[in-house]
Amino acid sequence: MHADLSPPRLTRRRGNAAAVRLFGAALAVFTLFFAPVAPAQATYADAGDGQHRGAVDWIEWGSDKTPIVNGSVSSSTRTLNNKPLTITCTASEVEGRAEAYRSGRWKGDALPILYSKGSTRENTLVAGIANTVDGTTVRFHLDCAASYGGERVPINGLVISDAESNNAGQGEYVSARPSGTATWRLLDRARNEGCTAATRAQLSAEGMLKLDSDGPECTYQNGSWRGPVATAFMEGATSASFELKGGGRSAIAIGVVLASDFGDAPESYGDAGAFIHQEWSGGIIPVGTSNLFEDVALADTTSGDVALGEIIDAEDSPLNSVDALGDDNDGDSDEDLIVPAQFDVEPGEVFELPPIVCGTKAHAAAWVDWNRDGVFSDAERSNVVSCENGTATLRWQVPGEGSEALKEGASFVRFRSAGDPAQLNSPVGMTSDGEVEDHAVQLFTPAPGLALSKTAEPVTESTLQSGETVHYTVTASNTGNQTLNPVTVTDDLSGVLPYAAYDENAVSSRGAEPLLSGEILSWEGQLEPGESVTLTYSFTVNEVEAAETILNLVQAKGLPPAGDLIVTPKVSTVHYLTVPRIILREPGPDPEPEPGPNPKAGPGPLAKPRPTDRPTPTSTGQNGAKLATTGASASVLPAALAIALSSGALLILGARRRFSKTRRP
């Protein structure tokens, strides 16, 4: 591989003088026995195009060029819910002089393209172990373990990669042999487009994998290019023996696959996570020699048999966010449970979600922040359900109406899965397997409502006569917070049609027009919350010969998405039909004639008769209301009036004749 190209040196260092080698050997002895063991740690990459950045915990060995000796330890600790998560790797059987290496020190290093800290050009991830002396071979053994809260956590395997791009023709390589049985898979690869060099894999029947290049590295084909590089996964291994050989400098990067998944709800809800036991597929590196850019596909992962949904990706820490989308925006969007955006709940009732997908060896539970206080409490948990059939139906007892434990509005729900149901007692903390998904939801308490009103012109309780028209206006309104479908408005006209004719002019403000069928006028349609429909129509009063009453009854019904049919009270209008009535009175005595100059009127004065009252036709309707005499039949009224006038004239004339005869001498 290559010499140290730390600034300002820009060329390789090839072949040292014998004196330099002698000095180097002496320095190695001093370092081996007297150099302190440097602090080191494991860390996740936060930049690069690697598919598994959240799953590979790269083993760092302190600062760049820190010596690696027997007993060197790389250890990292993160605190999750007040418990330490610690990953430790210990070096032993070190042969040759080795030191920590920051990939990117050599301009052609391509590992930072996949996994780096800071940026792919200014990488600060010190995950490599290099030969300190050019052209030498270094061997060592690593044992790795993980624990959470003092309890051992299983590691999925180890990862290796060429940290310092090797070059063909110089015998440069890196290799690893797992201590036990392991499956080798190809995780990632990188090189600049146009570069013809590829990473070559040579896998022995005993499981030792050797990685080198099949041609001049990319930077020798173009000064700005990097690569080739590949990362290989020892699935199932926790310890291995390693070897690296450089023509000048060579380096190997080693990581631990300890995948974890975390929630992404706001920080107030606490951190919840799970150690992921992903199922790997594809990417198998075959025994023999293969071109890792042409002969082998990349490995992939599935969610496994204790996860939620179909997809899972790994994170190295919680991704708290105000909208619970932190996980979706980091790496793959693995929050693939089908969760309604709105929870329609009835206070005091059981709320049930549609079945969720989960692994067949999982148990599932979820917490809803019913009172929207920013905390998941134990009382807000669903039932714990086995996923043995690949799905789980979760149910909650919703807090009662008027309770402070239930508040409408924006909230969050947290889903968790684990193989052991006892690990689902808390909404926070780590589980030894499974997954966490947080979702933002709207809590909605359905309150369906339907109102009905009706007006008439002339107003209800008015009197009508033949030929008059009455206009009706009916309005149905969705006064609740749920869609009503269908809504039906029916007007019972059985008390109208015998006395009035439908003008066939019904119209609606929304949807189809009202229809008359028999004695029922009806409308049907859908009303969203806040919507209304107004129906208008009219009737003309028939010829009537006796007082009658027009009674009109209208009612509305609406069906919400769930629950019982809403039926409004019946709304009525009433009108009174009248006919004109004429009352004739017997006239009183004729008044005495006034004396006048006419001698034929009688020889003496006549007594003045008392005048009679003027006949006043009266009629009363229902409830004693005065009824107008207008609107009677045009053929009946003149005839009755003529008869009355004729009869009165004859009576008066007869009286006068009788009076004259009694006064005549």
Q: What is the per-residue pLDDT across 570-589, written as a single tens digit (0 to 9) for each?
A: 999 999 999 866 555 666 56
| Six token digits for residue 177 | 């042999």
- Residue 537 — φ and ψ, nearest 5°? -165, 165
Write the pLDDT tens digit of every residue in 93-136.
Answer: 999 999 999 998 889 898 999 998 877 678 888 999 999 999 99
Write the pLDDT tens digit of every residue in 482-525.
Answer: 899 999 999 999 999 999 999 999 999 999 999 999 999 999 99
| Six token digits for residue 86 | 């610690």
Average pLDDT over residues 412-416: 97
Question: Residue 313 — pLDDT band, cuts 50, 70, 90?
Answer: confident
Q: Do domains 267-275+301-444 and 450-577 have the same CATH topology?
A: yes
Question: 267-275+301-444 in CATH: which number?
Answer: 2.60.40.1930
Q: Which amino acid is at 334?
A: D
Q: Is it the case that residue 292 has pLDDT exceeding 90?
A: yes
Question: 450-577 in CATH: which number?
Answer: 2.60.40.1530
Provide the 3-class DSSP secondary structure of residue 354.
coil
Provide the 3-class DSSP secondary structure of residue 332.
coil
User: What percentage of residues in the chain have a pLDDT greater than 70?
Assistant: 79
Confidence (pTM): 0.63
| Six token digits for residue 371 | 């009172």
Domain boundaries, the chain: 56-257, 267-275+301-444, 450-577
Q: How far apart are CA 493 and CA 541, in angstroms?
A: 13
Q: Is it the case that residue 412 has pLDDT exceeding 80?
A: yes
Q: Extract the runs of DSSP E, i.e. beta strands, from 81-222.
A: 83-95, 98-101, 128-131, 137-148, 151-153, 157-162, 173-178, 183-190, 199-203, 209-213
Write the pLDDT tens digit of every residue in 607-638.
Answer: 444 443 433 333 333 333 333 333 333 444 44
- Residue 622 — φ and ψ, nearest 5°? -65, 145
CB 472 within 8 A of CB 506: no
CB 427 within 8 A of CB 381: yes
Q: How far apart are CA 160 and CA 244, in angstroms?
A: 11
Question: Residue 184 — pLDDT band, cuts 50, 70, 90?
Answer: very high
